[in-house]
Amino acid sequence: MLEKDKMITGILIGILLPIVLYALFYFIMQVSGIYVTETLSEKTILFLIGINAFFMRHFMVKREQDQIGKGILIVTFLGAIVYVIYYYAGAIV
């Protein structure tokens, strides 16, 4: 499926994977009647950043598709930076 080693593919995977997984998580929580709090949402987003890192390692080490891995890495770093700024910028200042 992903035979071509292109960075844009990695960027798309890095963006779409957490969005789809978070939407699935949110849908399951709504159907089960559990309210998604800010703390639960924060922990879930941090977990999804870790999932991105797992997929980055999979593409770089296991499949030897470095460009896809680099694309996922870029999105993961940007996601981690946005996460820290959004949740912890007030604590730093």
pTM of the model: 0.86
- Reference 79, options 49, 44, 41, 38; nearest CA is 49
pLDDT tens figures, 56-67: 999 999 999 999
pLDDT digits (tens, 9 = 90+) for 15-35: 999 999 999 999 999 999 989
Cα–Cα distance for residue pair 49/60, rounded to 1 Å: 17
